[in-house]
Amino acid sequence: MSDSQIVLRESDIQHKIQRLAAQILEECADVQPLGFVGIYNRGVELAKRVFDLVKKKREDVFFGTLDISLYRDDFDNRGDIPTLKSSDIDFDLQGCHVVLFDDVLFTGRTTRAAIDALTAYGRPSCIQLATLVDRGNRELPISADYVGETLETSREDYVHVRLQGPDNEESVSLIKS
């Protein structure tokens, strides 16, 4: 039997995004160049929203998208052929301070794949991670630098993020197994 509960509603998500933007603006005040890269699907939406807020305060920030499908370590085990999206990083990563965005940080494997994919485009001076939800249960030594919400979960639980762009609604639900 599974139990589902909404942990973030639309207004909560907006508040978390504003907080992420404020933290990044503060921590990266003297960083140049600064690039935001969103991991498809919901990481792109999260990155875009934070980028739009940060862009109001500083002009020298860049935006890109990243498809990690072919960099996943479970590519052979997934049983389905991934729908490939087009990565779009049209700024120079060499020496760039990059903030990588994903909606949920869980095992760390998506982040590892994203770092591999990102470095195929160049060598950033620094890569930081921003996530809307950190649910723990890491398999790799990876942590987020910027976190909207931290949830205590078991490995069997599921965190379901819905964002307006890809999903036409806003919520974060925790589905307990």
Q: Treating both helix axes as pointing N-terminal to C-terminal, what angle do 10-27 and 42-55 enclose, rounded to 10 degrees? A: 60
Q: What is the model's pLDDT at position 86?
A: 79
Residues above pLDDT 90, as percent of the chain = 85
How does the average pLDDT of the chain come out, rounded? 92
104-138, pLDDT tens digit by residue? 999 999 999 999 999 999 999 999 999 999 999 99
Is residue 82 within 8 A of residue 57, CB to CB? The reply is no
For the segment 76-86, what is each residue's pLDDT rounded down to a tens digit? Answer: 444 555 555 67
- For the chain, the maximum distance between any two Cα atoms, rounded to a whole number of angstroms, is 50
Across residues 137-144, what is the average pLDDT?
A: 96
